[in-house]
Amino acid sequence: MTTGFNPLNAKQLAAFNDLTKDLSKEQAIWLHGFFEGRLSNTDLTGFKSNSFGVEQTDPILNLTILYGSETGNSQELAEKLAEKAFNKNIAAKVINMYDYNIDNLKDEENIAIIVSTHGEGDPPDMAEEFHKSITKKNVPGLSHLTYSVLALGDKSYKQFCKTGEDIDEAIKNLGGFRVTPIVKCDVDYELTADIWMNNLLLNLVPLESGGETDVQTVKESNEYTKQNPYLATVLEKAKITGNDSDKEVYHLELSLEESGLKYESGDAVGIYTVNPEPLVEQIIEHTGYDPEYHILLGDEEYSFYEALMHHLEITVLTYDIVKKYFEKTKNTELEKLIKNQKKLDEYLYGNDLLDILEDFPYDWNPEDLVEILRRLPARLYSISSSQDNVGEKVHATVSVVRYERKNRLRNGACSSYLADNIKVGDKVPVFIDKNPSFKLPKEDTKIIMVGAGTGVAPYRSFLQQLEINGKKGGTWLFYGDRRFNSDFLYQVEWQKWLKSNHLEKMDVAFSRDQEEKVYVQHKLLENQKEVFRWLEEGAHFYLCGDMKYMAKDVNKSLLEIVKTQGGISQKKAEEYLKNLKREKRFQQDIY
């Protein structure tokens, strides 16, 4: 380099040359997008599509942004991409996959797809048809089409970002031109998504086209977000399961005073946590590393202890960690485990970092070990209050994860931290996680709410809101838990609402109060005639709580109800439920 101005010092220059000398074109493009994202501070909060205050000339090209979202993240990103596109003078339209007629692909020039994966590697409901048509090639050739896919997911799931991958591959097979490679995002998706957006737009609009019209006035924002959480004071904390319960559930009230944070019934609160200290100490003891040994996580330097305590996930093993563990160790026993899907699933449920270190010994160095771990993500809790009722506060209902394995007591990172370490007056970092797909109906119509355990939390929020709205009647709660005496969460409040008719009907299933297990799905079936009548009268159906068992069983029962009571075939009943989802009359908040 011989330019007069050189902003890098000798050490940085050497590192820069070292990094850039073997870069592939793809890597260079990625870095370009990365730096552009950093420079623009990535935060366009406050800009709405119609309020950029920028004079637009004729758009230089069109971009259709399709999203498939279950809990709102992809939708939010799609809207953000549209804003960025607008700033580059691209005519962008955002469409959810429900509303998109796939035949229109033949008329598109450029499409951006943002889609999450749900269930066990399934498309979100709104992406189901699109995913099915495109993967079954029920569309004509797409060789005229330029596209890119942003896939949202969570590396703790076996089929990480599967829907995005399927769609990306399918469009490629139909002849589409991938303008930038698919990007797959883990739970902390914001920065990665931003880089993908910048790269996509850079590649759609070549620099020399003069299409750069970036807004200069990126607003300084002191808004509290997932990246900039608010330190909320704990105002109340009460254990709401009885002493003889085998579960521990806490009701928490947090202050949002002066944070400006707003939420609606159906949203979740995200809480950042620290890891259980005994586990951190046991890992340090097992590895024999100096807890003060300094390591880099991204740009930041931490002691090994700090990294384990505050920044890395150690209580949960994911597919991704096990895969990376094997890539490094080449342990043949681990290889056998990875090849046996069922055994691997069993291993992942309930084992932590210390287990894998003990079970598959390897002479790790601290840098390599932290490299395979992911950042400690916030945990989400369905909000159990209505902001119109509680003002600048938010309530959450937290079930504590505790279990014993190999003579070691295991504590869920966040739930046990809230239960054991946090007291009234302490502060916890929080943000609001919007969920536009779990919302009370706008119109005055009946609602059926089904939830088990903490799955009942959002319905407390719903009822607080409905009471404020003055709605009486037309509300039905199916609630399930283990035992009437010790596990009936918020019992007094439901009774109050039953008395005032804000809650018209309530059916409960306490699974362990009798020989035979009774669950909410059984209660639905018992009441099938009336449930179907409510649905036919336009009722909205809500389902919240456990994904693995309850949600599946309730879906099955509902199908059965529609089939039997509607006197229709299995196929027609499936179509009926699909339509309910399409019309946003069947909404799920399952985890």
Ligand X SMILES: Cc1cc2nc3c(=O)[nH]c(=O)nc-3n(C[C@H](O)[C@H](O)[C@H](O)COP(=O)(O)O)c2cc1C
Ligand Y SMILES: Cc1cc2nc3c(=O)[nH]c(=O)nc-3n(C[C@H](O)[C@H](O)[C@H](O)COP(=O)(O)OP(=O)(O)OC[C@H]3O[C@@H](n4cnc5c(N)ncnc54)[C@H](O)[C@@H]3O)c2cc1C
Residues of this chain that interact with ligand Y (CB under 6 A) are 268, 315-316, 349-350, 379-382, 397-399, 401, 403, 412-416, 454, 457, 589, 591
Q: How far apart are CA 120 and CA 118, in angstroms?
A: 6
How many residues does this entry show for the chain?
Answer: 591
> Which of 154, 165, 190, 352: binder of ligand X (CB under 6 A)?
154
> Which of 98, 157, 177, 319: binder of ligand X (CB under 6 A)?
157
**Placement of tokens 């449930």 in the chain:** 531
Q: How far apart are CA 361 and CA 169, in angstroms?
A: 38
Q: Which is nearer to ligand X, 86 or 189 (CB)?
A: 189
Q: Which is nearer to ligand X, 121 or 366 (CB)?
A: 121
Beta strands at 146-152 and 393-399: parallel, antiparallel or unpaired: unpaired
How is residue 569 written in tokens? 């075939």
Q: Which is nearer to ligand Y, 114 or 398 (CB)?
A: 398
The CB-of-450 to ligand X minimum distance in angstroms stands at 16
Q: Who contacts 360 (Cβ-Cβ below 8 Å, separation ≥6)?
A: 325, 329, 331, 333, 334
> Which of 42, 43, 47, 72: binder of ligand X (CB under 6 A)?
72
The CB-of-157 to ligand X minimum distance in angstroms stands at 3
Q: Which does 74 bind (CB under 5 to 8 A by kind): ligand Y, ligand X, none?
A: ligand X
List, as one string, the DSSP characters of 174-206.
TT-EESS--EEE-SS-HHHHHHHHHHHHHHHS-
Q: Are 176 and 182 in contact (CB under 8 A)?
A: no
> Which of 33, 64, 65, 69: binder of ligand X (CB under 6 A)?
69
> Which of 89, 116, 273, 397: binder of ligand X (CB under 6 A)?
116
319-378 positions binding ligand X, by CB under 6 A = none
Q: Which does 380 bind (CB under 5 to 8 A by kind): ligand X, ligand Y, none?
A: ligand Y
Q: How many helices (H) and strands (E) does the chain have?
A: 22, 21
119 lines the binding site for ligand X (CB under 6 A): yes
Please count the other Cβ atoms lying within 10 Å of the Cβ belonging to residue 561: 22
Inter-axis angle of helices 190-204 and 73-87, nearest 10: 40
Inter-axis angle of helices 552-566 and 570-582, nearest 10: 120
318 lines the binding site for ligand X (CB under 6 A): no
The CB-of-276 to ligand X minimum distance in angstroms stands at 23
Q: Which is nearer to ligand X, 189 or 519 (CB)?
A: 189
Q: How far apart are CA 398 and CA 472, in angstroms?
A: 29
109 lines the binding site for ligand X (CB under 6 A): no
591 lines the binding site for ligand X (CB under 6 A): yes
Name the residue whose CB lies closest to ligand Y. Answer: 412
What x/- string results for residues 175 through 214 when contact with ligand X is judged by CB under 6 A?
--------------x-------------------------
74 lines the binding site for ligand X (CB under 6 A): yes
Q: Are 283 and 317 in contact (CB under 8 A)?
A: no
Q: Shortest CA distance to 405 belongs to which of 317, 336, 324?
A: 317
List of residues contacting ligand X (CB under 6 A)? 69-74, 116-121, 124, 152-154, 157, 159-162, 189, 547, 590-591
